[in-house]
C-alpha cells in the first residue's frame, strides 16, 4: 500500500470514529456508515484475500440468501443480492483494516459514546431534548435505546482496551465504563439491553476461568437455538390463547404470538421448509396475516411485524433447512477457529461477552437483514481483532 493511500485509509477510519458517538446517541441507523468508513480502506487488500473455513461458510450462506431472492415474494427482492454482496465485502474488508492511531481514537470515541448514553439515561434524554425539533416523539426514546443496544456490542472491547492501559487510570476507567453501560441498559424501555449486559458479564467471567471451554460452549448454544426455538414454539398455546394472557409486558406477549405464528407457517410446503420462502418473505407474510387483539393492549398488534424478533425463526422461515445448515456450519467453523486461536485471556473474555450478547439479541430482538443491527456486532468483532493484533497500550 502506498503512503498516500495509507494516509487516506487512516483518515477514513478517523472520520468513522468521529461519527461514532453521534450515531450512537442521535442516529443509530447511521452506525453502518462508521463501519463502512473503517472498512473501505481494507477493500484494496481483498484482492489478496483467501477466506478461511469460517469465512467460506459465511459467504456460502450469503450466496444462498442471494439465491432465495429468485423465489421471494418481496417486490424489492431483486435489489438484495447487491446489498448482501456489499455487506459481505465490507465485513471482510473491515477485519483487514486498521492502524494503531485510528484504532486508539476509535476506542476513545466509543468511550465517549458510552458516557453520553449514560448521561442520556440519567437525564431522561436531555441531549435529544436540546436537539431540534421540540416535543420529540416517544419513538426517540426507542432510538436512544437502540443506540444503547449498539454500544453494548462495543463495550467488551472497550473494557479490554482501557484495562490494558498502563498506569492507575486504565483499569478503573474500564470498570466505570462497564457500569455506565449497565446503567444505560436499564433505561429507554428495551429489556433485552439489560439482559444482554448481564449475560455478557457472566460469559466474560466464565471465560476468564475457562476461556476456550466457554467460547466453544457459547457457539454450541448459538447453534442449538435452531432446535430449541422450534420446540418451544410447538409447545406454546395458540395465538388466540396467547393474546388473551394478561400477565407480563405486552411486547413479550407479542413475541410469543409472533414466534408461534411464524413457526406454524414455516413448514407450509416441503419446498418452503427445505429451501425457505426467500429474503424478506416474513415481512410479506406479516402484511398478509394482519393484526390481532391483545389483553391490556390498546388497539391491535401485527401478528408478525416487519421481522420475527428472533434470528432463528427468521432463518428457518426465509432460508429454510439449507440456510439453517449453512448457519450451523459457519458457527461450528467460527467456534473452532476461536477455540484454537492464541488470543489472550482478556480477549477471550471479551469475545465470550460479545458472543453471549449477540445470542441474547438474536433470540429476542434482532432482524436478519437490518443493517444497523448487523453493524454493531461486526464493529465489536473488528475492535477485538485490532486489540488482538496491535499493541494499543
Quick: pLDDT tens for 142-180: 888 999 999 999 999 999 999 987 667 888 999 999 999
What is the spatial distance between Cα 145 and Cα 190, in angstroms, rounded to a whole number?
6
pLDDT tens track, the chain, 393 positions:
556 567 777 888 889 889 999 999 988 888 988 988 888 888 877 777 788 899 899 989 999 999 999 999 998 887 877 777 887 888 888 888 777 888 899 999 999 999 999 999 999 888 888 877 666 665 577 888 999 999 999 999 999 999 987 667 888 999 999 999 999 999 988 899 999 999 999 999 999 999 999 999 999 999 999 999 999 999 999 888 887 887 777 788 889 999 999 999 999 899 999 999 999 999 999 888 887 777 777 667 777 888 889 999 999 999 999 999 999 999 999 999 999 998 889 999 999 999 999 999 999 988 888 888 889 999 999 999 998 876 555
CA 190 to chain centre: 14
CB 68 within 8 A of CB 278: yes
Q: Which of 294, 290, 293 is nearest to 245 (CA)?
A: 294
Angle between helices 345-364 and 211-235 (to 10 degrees): 10
- The SS3 of residue 119 is helix
What's the grid cell of residue 216?
A: 466453544
Q: Which of 385, 271, 360 is nearest to 320 (CA)?
A: 271
Supply the pTM of this predicted model. Answer: 0.93
Quick one: which H or E segment has residue 239? helix 239-244
How would DSSP label each residue in 218-233? Answer: HHHHHHHHHHHHHHHH
Cβ-based neighbours of 240, under 8 Å, separated by 6 or more:
292
Amino acid at each position: 500500500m502506498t503512503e498516500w493511500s495509507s494516509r487516506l485509509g487512516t483518515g477514513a477510519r478517523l472520520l468513522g470514529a468521529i461519527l461514532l458517538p453521534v450515531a450512537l446517541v442521535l442516529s443509530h441507523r447511521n452506525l453502518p456508515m462508521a463501519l463502512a468508513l473503517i472498512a473501505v480502506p481494507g477493500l484494496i487488500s481483498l484482492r489478496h484475500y483467501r477466506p478461511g473455513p469460517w469465512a467460506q461458510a459465511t459467504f456460502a450462506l450469503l450466496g444462498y440468501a442471494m439465491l432465495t431472492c429468485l423465489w421471494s415474494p418481496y417486490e424489492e427482492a431483486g435489489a438484495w443480492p447487491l446489498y448482501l454482496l456489499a455487506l459481505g465485502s465490507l465485513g471482510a474488508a473491515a477485519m483487514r483494516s486498521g492502524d494503531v492511531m485510528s484504532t486508539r481514537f476509535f476506542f476513545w470515541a466509543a468511550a465517549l459514546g458510552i458516557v453520553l448514553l449514560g448521561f442520556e439515561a440519567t437525564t431522561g434524554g436531555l441531549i435529544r431534548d436540546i436537539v431540534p425539533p421540540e416535543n420529540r416523539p416517544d419513538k426517540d426514546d426507542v432510538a436512544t435505546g437502540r443506540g444503547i443496544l449498539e454500544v453494548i456490542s462495543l463495550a467488551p472491547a472497550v473494557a479490554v482496551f482501557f484495562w490494558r492501559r498502563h498506569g492507575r487510570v486504565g483499569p478503573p476507567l474500564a470498570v466505570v465504563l462497564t457500569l455506565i453501560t449497565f446503567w444505560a441498559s436499564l433505561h429507554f424501555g428495551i429489556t433485552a439491553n439489560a439482559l444482554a449486559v448481564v449475560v455478557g458479564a457472566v460469559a466474560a467471567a466464565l471465560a476468564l476461568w475457562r476461556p476456550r471451554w466457554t467460547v466453544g460452549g457459547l457457539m454450541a448454544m448459538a447453534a442449538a437455538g435452531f432446535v430449541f426455538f422450534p420446540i418451544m414454539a410447538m409447545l406454546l398455546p395458540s395465538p388466540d390463547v396467547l393474546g388473551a394472557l394478561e400477565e407480563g409486558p405486552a411486547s413479550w406477549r407479542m413475541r410469543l404470538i409472533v414466534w408461534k405464528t411464524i413457526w406454524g407457517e414455516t413448514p407450509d410446503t416441503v419446498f418452503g421448509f427445505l429451501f425457505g420462502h426467500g429474503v424478506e418473505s416474513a415481512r410479506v407474510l406479516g402484511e398478509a396475516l394482519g393484526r390481532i387483539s391483545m389483553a391490556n393492549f390498546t388497539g391491535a398488534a401485527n401478528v408478525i411485524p416487519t421481522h420475527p424478533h428472533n434470528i432463528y425463526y427468521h432463518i428457518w422461515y426465509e432460508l429454510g433447512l439449507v440456510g439453517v445448515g449453512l448457519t450451523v456450519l459457519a458457527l461450528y467453523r467460527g467456534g473452532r477457529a476461536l477455540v484454537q486461536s492464541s488470543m489472550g485471556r482478556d480477549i477471550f473474555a471479551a469475545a465470550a461477552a460479545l458472543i453471549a450478547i449477540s445470542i441474547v439479541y438474536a433470540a429476542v430482538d434482532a432482524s436478519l437483514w437490518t443493517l444497523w443491527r448487523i453493524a454493531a456486532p461486526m464493529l465489536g468483532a473488528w475492535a477485538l481483532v485490532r486489540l488482538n493484533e496491535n499493541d494499543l497500550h
